[in-house]
Amino acid sequence: MSAEREPIGVIGVGWVGLVTAACFAELGHEVWARDIVAEKVESLSRGEVPIHEPGLAELVMENAERLHFTTDMTEALKHARLLFVCVDTPPTYSGDADLSRVEAVLGELGDSTDHALVMKSTVPVGTGRSIQRRRPGTGYVSNPEFLQEGSALKDFMNPDRVVVGADESSQPFAERVAALYAPLDAPVVKTDVASAEMVKLASNAFLATKISFINEIANVSEDLGADVSEVARGMGLDDRIGPKFLQAGIGYGGSCFPKDVQALKQLAGNTGYHFQLLTAVIEVNELQKRRTIGKLQKHLGPLVGKEVALLGLAFKPNTDDIREATSLVLSGRLQGEGANVRVYDPVAGQRVEGLLGGARICASALEAVDGADAVVLVTEWPEFGELDWAGEVKRRMREPLVVDGRNFLDRDALIQAGFTYEGIGR
């Protein structure tokens, strides 16, 4: 068997698992993708992809011959030696990661020494070592994912780096994992398991820190008369800083940043170390979501009975994911202030049914802005930039007030059209 044609098991076919399975199939490997949810497996076997990720449905279809979806773990174990673990590790109430699904996979693996777990799920630093201590015969490789929703296929196929962590006994498995990524021509960081686990958490925590940092610069800029977009442009050209993740806004959300920052802080806390910086990163992010309320009150006074339209629900564009989305917090806070909230998102509308209290879910942006006293742009979906703001939108609104939570709209054009415009840090 050549290294380029290694049969692969993917355990857990959520967003990470499906992207991983489809991309390895695209690279020419036979993939056995196993999930415990029978309906999901059935629909995937029919070629129906239940996840909104650009290009994914097409990739699954094109590679249908090499993609075998199953609920049967023994199928995956029979065909593949490398088992990419892509199960959920959600936070518990204490902020620690819930590893029960990882444990369930271990249970199903039995005492096989032929197989290796290749951990893609984000786990606390130390997880791999503790698994290996309990099960010295089981191969274990840490191979964290760095995929961004909305560009996951591109991220998988053109990674900045591939991280492969393994201890001495699992080196042969680690070599096989690294070989799978050879066609991608990316630097491979071969390291120990704990360091690989830390690379993942530290990377996300660093990016979240960068966002909270620029958000604080934005908040200070508002009072000092600077424009954070200009500041970010000037900072980003410094090679040591770089232009990415310097976009000020109404806070980061999603399935990774909030969870991973919290997890790293908690992990440090468990060792007796108070990670002060991350405590501040989390607090700044929470306050950032709420600052919008103050901006609305500045212009509208008390919000009781005011009609507020939220454009965008997803935590960022090109996804229907609403996990930890700022829209959810904002909608709750606005209703708490007595406002009537209407919301629109091009794809995430159905996802929020039942989650937004009394908020009205609209079928279009124009329906949402109709009769509104204010519009808050929450997610920078391209279609919001293409709305006829000066004409149709302004005509429909009761008060022409826009809070642009992503500094996405054409500020000058809106002001010229008679809008009151509030951005972030400008």
Active site residues: 256
Nearest distance, CB of residue 248 and ligand UDX, angstroms: 7
Pair 141, 166: CB distance under 8 Å: yes
Per-position x/- string for 117-156, each x denoting binding to ligand UDX as judged by CB under 6 A, each - no binding: ----------------------------xxxxx-------
Compare residues 256 and 352 and give the one whose CB is closer to ligand UDX. Answer: 256
Coil, helix or strand at residue 300: helix
Nearest distance, CB of residue 253 and ligand UDX, angstroms: 4
Alpha-carbon distance of 312 to 343, in angstroms, equals: 7
Nearest distance, CB of residue 83 and ligand UDX, angstroms: 20
DSSP category for residue 147: P
Alpha-carbon distance of 402 to 299, in angstroms, equals: 10
**Which residues in 355-414 contact ligand UDX (CB under 6 A)?**
none
Nearest distance, CB of residue 144 and ligand UDX, angstroms: 8
Alpha-carbon distance of 271 to 194, in angstroms, equals: 15
Residue 7 in tokens? 């049969």
**Which residues in 217-236 contact ligand UDX (CB under 6 A)?**
none
Q: Which of 109, 196, 205, 211 binds ligand UDX (CB under 6 A)?
A: 211
Strand partners, 84: 10, 118
Compare residues 174 and 314 and give the one whose CB is closer to ligand UDX. Answer: 314
Q: Which of 7, 12, 139, 249 binds ligand UDX (CB under 6 A)?
A: 249
Stretch binding ligand UDX (CB under 6 A), from 3-11, 244-252, 386-394, 418-426 = 244-252
Instruction: Find the angle CA(167)-CA(3)-CA(130) to the nearest 5 degrees.
Output: 20
Count of residues touching ligand UDX (by CB under 6 A): 19
Nearest distance, CB of residue 204 and ligand UDX, angstroms: 6
Residue that is written with structure tokens 């029919």 in the block: 46
Q: Which of 70, 247, 318, 331 binds ligand UDX (CB under 6 A)?
A: 247
Three-state SS sequence of 327-394: HHHHHHHHHHCCCEEEEECCCCCHHHCCCCCCCEECCCHHHHHCCCCEEEECCCCHHHHCCCHHHHHH
Burial of 119 (0-12, 13-18, 19+ CB in 10 A): buried
252 near ligand UDX, rule: CB under 6 A = yes
**Which residues in 315-354 contact ligand UDX (CB under 6 A)?**
315-316
Residues found near ligand UDX in the complex (CB under 6 A): 145-149, 204, 207, 211, 245-247, 249, 252-254, 256-257, 315-316
